[in-house]
Amino acid sequence: MQLSVLDQSVSCAGRDEGHALCDTLALAQDCEALGYARFWVSEHHALPTIVGSAPEILMAAIAARTSRIRVGSAGVMLPHYAALKVAEQFRVLDALAPGRIDLGVGRAPGGDMRTAFALNPNAAHSADDFPQQVLDLQAWTAGQRHQGIAAHPLPAAGAAPPEIWILGSSDYGARLAAHLGLPYAYAYFFMDGQGVEQALGLYRSLYRPSPRHPRPQATICVWALAADTEAEARHQALSRERWRIDRQRGLLGPLQPPDALATRGYAAEEAAAVEAMRARALVGDAGQVADAMRRLARELELDHLVVNTWAHDPAVRRRSYALLAQAFGLPAFRRPDAAAA
């Protein structure tokens, strides 16, 4: 089983938002040492919970601090931008970290529509151009002269360009990825897995082989939290539980500390939603979470999972990734600076 990471630079109550970005950089270095295959960062806008708004900038900082792990976007919300500009950004990233760059792209706004119009005045129709934008990206990131234009810097002779992934949580992305012969990542954690079987089934059945990807390549992103004990994991998961309950009422904000939430508890009308959430959650000690992830991977015929973890305390999040790496037997990697020390 190959494991990767999706990090969203989550804001936590009591800390400046900038700390969330610094936590992402530290986590990327940890996850490289632990043996994770990829480290992806997301794009969201005008949300008081998720600080990651510019994945291409964060990726450059991560690539500069790592040497082996693949670094990617999950993803760039392509309708906000001109495809050529995105291609140029990722050609620069690929020149700085050759062979380690993933370009995950999505069609969703990553925020509300008022923000989408602020990013792109043509937002009402820009999503319709998403398939053509992906085709343009494929050509430009590969170093081709496309529409009479090349995206610089050009790749070295024989070098593999950034790997493009289609991201989605519906049938649309699955069909497009299959049609274009591209890897596909399903956002399982968005809707607690609803629709995943249909999306992966469509992707595999409709897949058209491409030169770089002769066979379908799929993964899902799950939310998981492991701790030394099940009780500790469930306690730390209170931060995200409360956030999800509040989000249903339109209340968004930074993650709250679990100690305060444990004292506060839940209102009677919230209990049913909380219990349903817990029944599906990948939360527990390392063995429990790893076993649940393995079962899910077998059911969906996957050999690669992407893990997203929120916790109010960055140390809890790092511990969760370390426990899962150990439970899955990931090949640990010692950075040269660590070896020298």
Cis before 153? omega within 30: yes
CA pair distance 6, 75, nearest whole angstrom: 10
**Residue 339: predicted pLDDT:** 42
CA pair distance 181, 215, nearest whole angstrom: 8
CA pair distance 235, 241, nearest whole angstrom: 10
Q: What share of the chain has pLDDT > 90, as a percent?
A: 93
CA pair distance 241, 274, nearest whole angstrom: 7
pLDDT exceeds 70 at position 27: yes
- Mean of all residue pLDDT scores within the chain: 95
Q: How confident is the model at residue 109 (pLDDT cuts 50, 70, 90)?
A: confident
Per residue in 220-243, pLDDT (tens digit) is 999 999 999 999 999 999 999 999
CATH number, position 186? 3.20.20.30
The whole domain housing 112 covers 2-340
Tokens of 111: 């925020």
Domain count of the fold of the chain: 1
**Residue 336: predicted pLDDT:** 47
**Residue 111: predicted pLDDT:** 83
Per residue in 145-181, pLDDT (tens digit) is 999 999 999 999 999 999 999 999 999 999 999 999 9
Torsion, Cα 184 185 190 192, to 10 degrees, reads 100
Per residue in 307-316, pLDDT (tens digit) is 999 999 999 9
Given a contact cutoff of 8 angstroms between Cβ atoms, the answer to whether 164 and 141 are in contact is yes
**Residue 292: predicted pLDDT:** 98
pLDDT exceeds 70 at position 322: yes
Given a contact cutoff of 8 angstroms between Cβ atoms, the answer to whether 237 and 281 are in contact is yes
Q: How many CB atoms lie within 10 A of CB 18?
A: 11
**Residue 341: predicted pLDDT:** 37
Query: In angstroms, what is the C-alpha Rg of the chain?
Result: 20
> pTM for this one?
0.95
Given a contact cutoff of 8 angstroms between Cβ atoms, the answer to whether 85 and 46 are in contact is no
**Residue 333: predicted pLDDT:** 67
**One-letter amino acid identity for 209?**
P
